[in-house]
C-alpha cells in the first residue's frame, strides 16, 4: 500500500505536474530484473514517480511501485511476469499536493525471447517479440550468445522489421543461451529476456533384437523384434533381402508396442529364404542402429519307400546362439508329436516310418529352433513352414504263383508297405478276358476262373491302382505267370 504525507497547506495546489518522458524498459538477462528509465518531469514540485503495468485489454493500468526520489531517472525491480511473455509499462509523476500527471504514452513493452531447435539441420532459431515504444526510432536488433562464465558474444544483427535470427552449426548435447539488444537511433539500447536450449539428442535404443520368425500358413511369416524400452523415439524401418548382405527392400515403418516389441506379418512373394532387419530412425528420419538380420526357416524334403528325408536352412543365429533344433510330426487328426531333438547346426533328418498303421494319408512336419537365453534372459523360438509328404510307400507284385493247393504261393496278391485307402486289382488272360477283379486289398486270386475252373498254366496280365487317404495314387501294369509244379 502506498502512503503519501503532505503539508496540509499544500492541498490548495491543484495544478498537476508535467509528465516525465519514458525512455526505455530493459531486462537483465542474468537476474530477470526490470529497469525502467525516464527523463524527469520539468515541474519543480515533483515528489516522485509511480511505475505502472499496462494491462492491455484487461483492466488498464496497474500501479507497481512509487519512487519518492524526484531526481532519480530510473528504477530497477523484480517482476517475474516478464519471464513468461512481453509486458507493457508506463509511469506518471506526482507532486507534493498529491496531483498526478498524465501517464506516459505510448507504453513501452519488454522483449521476450524464445528458441526453436532444429536438430535435423543443426540450427537454433532465435525469436523475440518486438520492442514497442520507440516507433520509427528503433533501428536494429543485435543478437548475443551467453557462453561459459557469462561471456557475451555478438553473433549477428538484423533490421528493426525482423524479429528472428537463425544460428547454424549447433552441436548435440550442448546448452545454448541467447538474448537480444534493441537499439534506438541515438544509441540507447534495451535487453530482452534470455532463453536457453539444451540440445540433448534423443536416446536411441541400446539394442534391437530379432526374436523370431514363424510361419502362419504357407505364405505368411510373422516377425517379432524386441527393442530397448528406454528409447525416447520408437520409429523403425523393416527391410527384407534375399541374402544377409544383399540389397534390402523397405517393407514398412513401424512403432514398438507397450511391451517394447515390434511385430509384422510378411506375405511372402515366393518360396525363398528371406532375411529381415529392423533399423531405428530418429526424428530427422536418419537411420541408426540395426538388428542382426533374421531369416525364415524353409523346410522341404522327399519321400522314398518308408523314409521321409527332411531338409532346412539354418536360422541366422540369435546373439547368444541356438540351443537346439526340434522336429515335429503330425498326421491327419492325430496330435503333433516331437520326434527328435538335434544339435544347433543340423540341417536334415530322415524319418523312418516303421509300421503300416502309422500312415493314413499325408504326414506333415515342421522344425523349431530354440535359442539360448538372450540378454533379456528370454528364450526365443522360430519355426519353419509346414511341409507335408504324400506317402504311398512301396508296392510289390510277384511275377508268378502256383495255385496247386499245397499251401505255398497259392494266391496271387500284391503287398504294400503302406496300406491303401482305395484299391483296384484286375487280372486278364493273354486274350484280354478278365479273369479276376477286387477292390479289397486283403483278397487275391486263387487261380480259379469266373466259371470255377482252374486257370491254364501260362502268362497273364495284371493292372493295379491304389490311392492313399490324401488322394495320392499309384498305377502299375505287368505280366505274371501261372505255374503248376
Q: What is the pLDDT of residues 188-246, one digit of tens each?
A: 999 999 999 999 888 889 999 999 999 998 899 999 999 998 888 889 999 999 999 98
CB neighbour burial string for 40-62, b if at least 16 within 10 angstroms, e if fewer: ebebebbbbbbbbbbeeeeeebe
Q: Is the pLDDT of residue 357 over 60?
A: no
Residue 84 belongs to what H/E stretch?
Answer: none
Pick the CATH number of 208-295 from 3.40.50.2300, 3.40.190.10, 2.30.30.40, 2.60.40.10: 2.60.40.10
C-alpha cell at 47: 515528489
State in words which class domain 8-109 has.
mainly beta
Per residue in 104-146, pLDDT (tens digit) is: 999 999 999 999 999 999 999 999 999 999 999 999 999 999 9
CB neighbour burial string for 442-455, b if at least 16 within 10 angstroms, e if fewer: eebbebeeeeeeeb
Q: Say what the pLDDT of residue 361 is.
A: 63
Average pLDDT, the chain: 91
Tell how many helices (H) and how many strands (E) occur in the chain: 0, 38
Q: What share of the chain is helix, strand, coil (3-state, %, to 5)?
A: 5, 50, 45
Q: How far is CA 348 from CA 164, 298, 307, in A?
A: 69, 12, 13
Q: Is the pLDDT of residue 258 over 70?
A: yes
Q: Does domain 113-198 have CATH number 1.20.200.10?
A: no
Q: Say what the pLDDT of residue 3 is.
A: 42
Q: Does domain 395-482 have CATH number 2.60.40?
A: yes
Q: What average pLDDT does range 448-476 have in this prediction?
A: 89
Distance CA 459, CA 250 (A): 69
Residue limits of CATH 2.60.40.10 in the chain: 8-109, 113-198, 208-295, 299-388
**Is this structure's pTM higher than 0.75?**
no
Q: Say what the pLDDT of residue 359 is.
A: 58
Amino acid at each position: 500500500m502506498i502512503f503519501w504525507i503532505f503539508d496540509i497547506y499544500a492541498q490548495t495546489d491543484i495544478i498537476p505536474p508535467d509528465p516525465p518522458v519514458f525512455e526505455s524498459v530493459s531486462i537483465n538477462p542474468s537476474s530477470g530484473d526490470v529497469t525502467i528509465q525516464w527523463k524527469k518531469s520539468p515541474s519543480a514540485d515533483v515528489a516522485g514517480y509511480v511505475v505502472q503495468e499496462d494491462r492491455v485489454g484487461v483492466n488498464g493500468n496497474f500501479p507497481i511501485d512509487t519512487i519518492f526520489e524526484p531526481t532519480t531517472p530510473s528504477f530497477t525491480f523484480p517482476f517475474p511476469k516478464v519471464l513468461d511473455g512481453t509486458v507493457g509499462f508506463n509511469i506518471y509523476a506526482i507532486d507534493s499536493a498529491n496531483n498526478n500527471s498524465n501517464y506516459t504514452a505510448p507504453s513501452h513493452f519488454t522483449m521476450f525471447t524464445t528458441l526453436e531447435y532444429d536438430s535435423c539441420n543443426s540450427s537454433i532459431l532465435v525469436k523475440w517479440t518486438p520492442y514497442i515504444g520507440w516507433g520509427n526510432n528503433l533501428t536494429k536488433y543485435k543478437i548475443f550468445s551467453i557462453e561459459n562464465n557469462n561471456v557475451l558474444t555478438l553473433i549477428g544483427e538484423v533490421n528493426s522489421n525482423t524479429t528472428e535470427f537463425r544460428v547454424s552449426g549447433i552441436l548435440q548435447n550442448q546448452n545454448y543461451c541467447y538474448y537480444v539488444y534493441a537499439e534506438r537511433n541515438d544509441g540507447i539500447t534495451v535487453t530482452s529476456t534470455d532463453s536457453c536450449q539444451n540440445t540433448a539428442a534423443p536416446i536411441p535404443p541400446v539394442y534391437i533384437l530379432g526374436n523370431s520368425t514363424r510361419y502362419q500358413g504357407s505364405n505368411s511369416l510373422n516377425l517379432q523384434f524386441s527393442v530397448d524400452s528406454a528409447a525416447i523415439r520408437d520409429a523403425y524401418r523393416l527391410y527384407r533381402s534375399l541374402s544377409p548382405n544383399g540389397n534390402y527392400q523397405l517393407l514398412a515403418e513401424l512403432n514398438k508396442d507397450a511391451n517394447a516389441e515390434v511385430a509384422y506379418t510378411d506375405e511372402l512373394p515366393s518360396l525363398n529364404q528371406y532375411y529381415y532387419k529392423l533399423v531405428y530412425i530418429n526424428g530427422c528420419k536418419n537411420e541408426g542402429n540395426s538388428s542382426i538380420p533374421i531369416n525364415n526357416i524353409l523346410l522341404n524334403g522327399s519321400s522314398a519307400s518308408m523314409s521321409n528325408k527332411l531338409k532346412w536352412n539354418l536360422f541366422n543365429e540369435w546373439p547368444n546362439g541356438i540351443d537346439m533344433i526340434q522336429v515335429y510330426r503330425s498326421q491327419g487328426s492325430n496330435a503333433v508329436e516331437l520326434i527328435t531333438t538335434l544339435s544347433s547346426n543340423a540341417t536334415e533328418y530322415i524319418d523312418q516310418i516303421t509300421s503300416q498303421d502309422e500312415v493314413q494319408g499325408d504326414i506333415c512336419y515342421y522344425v523349431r529352433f530354440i535359442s539360448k537365453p538372450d540378454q533379456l534372459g528370454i528364450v526365443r523360438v522360430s519355426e519353419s513352414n509346414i511341409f507335408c509328404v504324400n506317402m504311398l510307400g512301396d508296392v510289390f507284385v510277384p511275377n508268378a504263383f502256383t495255385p496247386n493247393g499245397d499251401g505255398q504261393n497259392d494266391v496271387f496278391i500284391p503287398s504294400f508297405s503302406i496300406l491303401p485307402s482305395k484299391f483296384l486289382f484286375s487280372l486278364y488272360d493273354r486274350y484280354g478276358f478278365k479273369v479276376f477283379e477286387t477292390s479289397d486289398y486283403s483278397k487275391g486270386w486263387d487261380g480259379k476262373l469266373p466259371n470255377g475252373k482252374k486257370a491254364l498254366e501260362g502268362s497273364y496280365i495284371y493292372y493295379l491302382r491304389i490311392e492313399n487317404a490324401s488322394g495320392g495314387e499309384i498305377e502299375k501294369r505287368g505280366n505274371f505267370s501261372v505255374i503248376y509244379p
